Amino acid sequence: MPGIEKLVPTLASLPRREYSDLIRQVDEQRRKAAEFDSADDWPSNAASRDEFAVWIARRHFAIDKGIVRILHLPTGAPVDEVRLLEVNALAQLPEDAPVEAVDFMPDIEGVSYSLYVADVTPRQLEEILGGRLALPDGWQLAGHQELSAAER
Amino acid sequence: MNEQQRLYLVQARSDWRVHRRLKSEPVCHRLHYSQMCTEKLAKAFFWRSPGAGNLGHAAFVKFIRAIATNQNVAKKLGWNDARSFREWIKDVSDLAYELQALAPSLANDGPNPEYPWPRNGPQHAPVEHDFAAWRRIQTANGRHLWIMIDKVLENFDEWF
C-alpha cells in the first residue's frame, strides 16, 4: 500500500466525481468490515464487569488516536465499578500533577456499571509501574488486565 | 448539578454566545471562543466528580470519549445506530484534538488564535493566518460537532 504522503496528492488530483465514487466505495467496505465487529453494538444488560470493560476499551481505542494502552484495575473496586488507566501519547497532561480519575458517566440502557478513567502519559505509566507515582486513592495495580484494541 | 458544574456551564454558554456573535470577524476569534467554550463544557461535565481539577486544557477530547458511551445522548443527537455513532465520534475526536491544541500553552509556539508566533521572534499573526482546523470544521462532521455542542449546552441539565 502506498504511504499517506503519496496517497494524499494522488487522491487530491482525482476528478470530483471519481473521488466521490471512491470515497463511497471505501466507506462501504469499512461499514461491511464493521458489521463483523460485535463491539460496535451497545453492550447488553447481561454483560459482566470484565466484558463491559473490554467493550469500553475497544470503543476508546477506536475513537481516540492518542490512546496506546488501557489497563483495567478491578482489584479493590466496587463490584459495579470499572476503573481504567488509559495511556495517552497525544493528550497534554500535567506530568507533575497527581493522577486523578474522573467519572465518565456512561448511560447505556440496562447497564448499571459506573466508569472511572484516569489518563496518564507513557512516562507516567512507567513511573506507576515502577512504584514511583501513586494511582488515584483506592486504586490498585495488582491483578490488572491489559485490554487490547482488537479492531482500530 | 453541583455548583462547580454550574459555574463552568454558565461560562461555557456565555463563550458560545460570544462565538456566535463573531461571524463577521476573523476566524481566529471564533476559534478562540470555541476552544474556550468546549474546554469549559467538558469541565462542567467532569466536575461531577472531584478529580476534575487537573484536567487542564486537555478536557474536550476526554469529553468526546465519555459521550461515546452515552446511548441516551447518542439518541438525542439523532444517532440510532451504534456503528454510525461510533464512526462519527471517531472523526469528531480528531477535530477535538485540533481544537484543543489551539490553546496557546499547547500550540508549541505555533499557530494559535490569540498571540503572534513564534514567541521569541513573531512572524505570524492569528488574524492573518489560514487555520487548517477551521477548514476541517467546515466539513459535514465539523458542522455536526457544532450542532452537538449547541444541543449539549442547551440540554446539559436534562442529559447529564
Residues with Cβ within 8 Å of A137's Cβ and at least 6 positions away in sequence, in order, are none
A117 - beta bridge partners? Answer: A84, A102
pTM: 0.78
Euclidean distance between CA atoms B6 and B10, whole angstroms: 6
Q: Identify the pLDDT of residue B90.
A: 85
Asked if residue A111 lies in contact with residue A51, where contact means CB atoms within 8 angstroms, the answer is: no
C-alpha cell at A2: 502506498
Residues 108-127 of B with CB under 8 A from A: none
Report chain B residues whose CB lies below 8 A from the CB of A92. Answer: 56-58, 100-101, 105-106
Tell me the per-residue pLDDT of B30-47, one tens digit each, with 9 for 90 and over.
Answer: 999 999 999 999 999 999
Write phi, then psi, for B15 (nearest 5 degrees). -55, -40
Distance (Å) from the alpha carbon of B52 to chain A's nearest alpha carbon: 6
Residues in chain B: 160
Tell me the per-residue pLDDT of A50-70, one tens digit each, with 9 for 90 and over.
Answer: 999 999 999 899 888 889 999
- The interface predicted TM-score of the complex, written ipTM, equals 0.74
Q: DSSP labels for chain A?
A: ---HHHHHHHHHTS-HHHHHHHHHHHHHHHHHHHHT-GGGSPPPTT--HHHHHHHHHHHHHHH-TTEEEEEE--TT--TTEEEEEEEESSS---TTSPP--EE---BBTTB--EEEEEEE-HHHHHHHHTTSSPPSTT---TT-EEE--S--
User: Using the beta-carbon criterion (under 8 Å), do A66 and B52 form an inter-chain contact?
Assistant: no
| Least trusted range by pLDDT, from A88-97, B26-35, B135-144 | A88-97
Q: Identify the pLDDT of residue A151.
A: 44
Residues in chain A: 152
Q: Identify the pLDDT of residue B139.
A: 84
Q: Could you tell me which residue, A152 or A131, shows the higher pLDDT?
A: A131
Asked if residue A103 lies in contact with residue A72, where contact means CB atoms within 8 angstroms, the answer is: no
Tell me the per-residue pLDDT of B49-91, one tens digit each, with 9 for 90 and over.
Answer: 887 877 877 789 999 999 988 988 999 988 888 888 888 888 8
User: Using the beta-carbon criterion (under 8 Å), do B65 and A34 form an inter-chain contact?
Assistant: no
Q: Identify the pLDDT of residue A39.
A: 53
Tell me the per-residue pLDDT of A36-48, one tens digit each, with 9 for 90 and over.
Answer: 454 568 888 778 9
Number of Cβ atoms within 10 Å of the Cβ of B145: 24
Distances (CA, A) of A67 to A147, B62, B104, B116, B145: 12, 11, 23, 31, 21
Euclidean distance between CA atoms B82 and B114, whole angstroms: 38
